[in-house]
A and B are shown apart, each in its own frame.
Chain A
């Protein structure tokens, strides 16, 4: 029996039953949750073994839609063999923030770090949110759509990075 991929509406219905008022909207693909109710809804979803039983946070990633960010949660049930997609809209480009789901799923620990590292989305309540792949002090958030060059049009090198501008001199100078 293959996995049943739940539509957003099905998921939204189930979540509304568990935590009323937590769903923002739902589409055919995903169910959009309200950020402030996210942790509560996830807790309920995880512990609801008779309902959807979404115990396993399979995947967590963020998408930049220019106007806003979306954080996507792919959830899996083992006993019921169903798969659901949750989404949360994150507004603001300066300091986007949503609550962290690490208290619910330990597996979100590294993935939230990665999303923070590459998108700059702050997951509030994360025990150790740090830049996991890039180094501390890296300028900018590379996976954002407006990251075309390093801030300030920096040039290649360890402190600099390839920008849109063409380089004049070769990056490595030969020692004579």
Chain B
């Protein structure tokens, strides 16, 4: 079967949903971060699929957008991991259920 836009979008959607499960359900803060990375990747796949298969007035826009998404993802990963490490140092845990400084 020749892969078309539908197929790429489906893969992107499945990848996104897997990332969503990971991000919502993991106990470990770093695990949650990995889920978010998966979702961002799924978004990138979708963006590039649209870029490749659909009409556009600006043919470079799709790739440009992906560049920005990757940049933001890198920045987000750096800050999130720094948060996790810093939190571990202060609270001896990276369990998201116990990250509740604002409660109690």
- Do A and B come into direct contact in the complex, CB within 8 Å? no
Binding site for A on B (CB under 8 A): none
